[in-house]
Structure 1
């Protein structure tokens, strides 16, 4: 087996490890019905996010290494589009998602009682909208990687 094929295998497993949990991050926290459940859901979400970060980093590194080893990839529209979309999704973390998750985290820490406040629903709706957008970007990337349409 060549080093290139090993990188392809690592790249595919990285996609599974990184993107798979990423698709359910929003779903995990939607299951909380009380503040205790919601806090626990966010703790689980945080643990899953570690896999997303590790897998995502490996995905980017192996994808770029595959391009370096096979420079013709940099001339393929599907590869370049996937790379640009991945970087856009990666940038959405600190630019869009983090600023919208901070107030949610602060509310989870400061709120007393078991009833989930209305403010949480308003804040989480905005956060989840951006997370769903990132998921759509990742679905497009997966489609491009599988079909290589151009």
Structure 2
């Protein structure tokens, strides 16, 4: 018999695939652009993929907390607490770090005339991508903690 808890675990795992999978390639998608036309298209694709990241990430947080409330002993497990804290840190990095770095890139994509990629884009995107890489490392740590449950 399938229990409610198992259904939540199932949703949690699929949310990780749906939310984190595309999140790991967001930077790669836009790095493939060699002209402004290609970059604009890449950023539109990135935006569509980001919707999956947001939906999956929200479901991850909700199902993770539901599992904790259904099994309160999780709140005494180090791997669970560290994963939750890291997830909240990564979640907060969106509006606090990623958004301020992505807004100038978006503005440049909208305002730049011509198909040549300006040097300013490379400077702006480098700062954005570096922040995204840090978030990806956090998510890799979370996934590792979820799998290994080391403490």
Q: Tell me if TM exceeds 0.5.
A: yes
Q: TM-score, normalised by structure 2?
A: 0.99
Partner Cα separation in structure 2 for residue 90 and residue 107 of structure 1 = 25
Aligned to 2:34: 33
1:48 shift after superposition: 0.1
Q: Does 1:89 find its partner at 2:109?
A: no
Determine helix, strand or coil for the equivalent of 1:122: helix
What's the secondary structure of 1:112's corresponding residue?
Answer: coil
- Structure 1 residue 28: deviation in Å? 0.1
Question: How far apart are the structure 1 equivalents of 2:101 and 2:9?
Answer: 35
The alignment status of 1:110 with 2:93, answered yes or no, reads no
Structure 2 residue 133 is the aligned partner of structure 1 residue 132: yes
Q: What are the within-5 Å matches in structure 2 for residues 1-150 of structure 1?
A: 1-150=2-151
For 2:133 and 2:17, how far apart are their aligned partners in 1? 18
Q: Give me the TM-score of the superposition, normalised by structure 1.
A: 1.00
1:39-60 Cα shifts (integer Å, max 9, x gaps): 0000000000000000000000
- Tell me the CA shift for residue 10 of structure 1: 0.2
Superposed CA RMSD in Å reads 0.2
Mark the runs of 5 or more structure 1 residues left unpaired by the alignment. Answer: none
Unmatched tracts of structure 2, length 5 or more: none
1:118 deviation in Å? 0.2
Query: d(CA) in 2 for partners of 1:116 and 1:79?
Result: 44
How big is the shift at 1:112? 0.3
Structure-2 separation of matches of 1:65 and 1:11: 10
Q: Distance in 2 between matches of 1:147 and 1:30?
A: 32
Aligned-residue offset at 1:126 = 0.3
- Following TM superposition, the consecutive aligned residue runs of length 4 or more in structure 1 with deviations greater than 6 angstroms are none
SS at match of 2:30: helix
